[in-house]
Amino acid sequence: MDEVEAARGRGGLNRITSRRAGLLRPYGVERRAAAGEVLVRQGDTDREMYLVRSGRVQISRDIGGRRVVLGEIGPGDFFGEMALLESEPRSADAIALEDATLLVIGPGTLLMRIRNDPTLAVEMLQRLSGRVRSLHARLADGFGDDGAREFDGL
């Protein structure tokens, strides 16, 4: 078994190195964050969503003066989509737990991104569906057996 480096006879590994930075803007912009940096703050009214390319980010919110950690996300995950899709203030804080690289997508670039990267829409829907399922399960737990039956019928 030989490694095939260029089956189309282009004489070895092809290289593309110069275009990415220039073309990134129509599809979102790259942002680098240092560990501890606050990326979005609860109540802010900016509208971008963030895709985590590297590093880890903690999502937390203030509930009655108490800081509640909602989760940690890593490469491939995203946050901030609720503010983008609903034009509502940020519902939670996002803080880089370590040096991180993110792709920032604004309302104007979302459709362009999905048009050229359509599987992003499927990944977003899948994750949002997972969150709805998780919330349903927690609500049903809270209602107890009778409440769960009533809830299922909603």
Partner 1 sequence: MRVQIDETRLFVISDLHLGNPSSTARSRVVPFLDHALDVRANICINGDGFDLAQTSFPRLAGDAVPVLGRLRKLQESGLRVYYVVGNHDMALEHFLSDLVFTELAPFLNVRSGGRRIRVEHGHLYDPWFVRVPRIYDAGTKLIGHALTIVPDIYSTYARVERRIDSWRSERSGTVSADPYHGAAERLAERGFDAMIFGHTHNAETVDLGGATYLNSGNWMRSNSYVDIDEGAVSLRRWDP
Which residues would be at the binding site for partner 1 (CB under 8 A)? 1-8, 10, 13-20, 23-24, 27-28, 30, 51-54, 75-76, 101, 103, 113, 116-120, 122-123, 126
Q: Give the number of other CB atoms < 10 A from CB of residue 80.
A: 24
Of residues 8 and 66, the one with the C-beta less far from partner 1: 8
Of residues 74 and 143, the one with the C-beta less far from partner 1: 74
Q: How far is the CB of 86 from partner 1 (least distance, A)?
A: 22
Smallest Cα–Cα separation from 84: which of 53, 105, 59? 105
Q: Are 115 and 28 in contact (CB under 8 A)?
A: no
Q: Give the number of other CB atoms < 10 A from CB of residue 99.
A: 14
Of residues 5 and 88, the one with the C-beta less far from partner 1: 5
Q: How far is the CB of 66 from partner 1 (least distance, A)?
A: 32
Say which residue the tokens 């050229």 belong to. Answer: 116
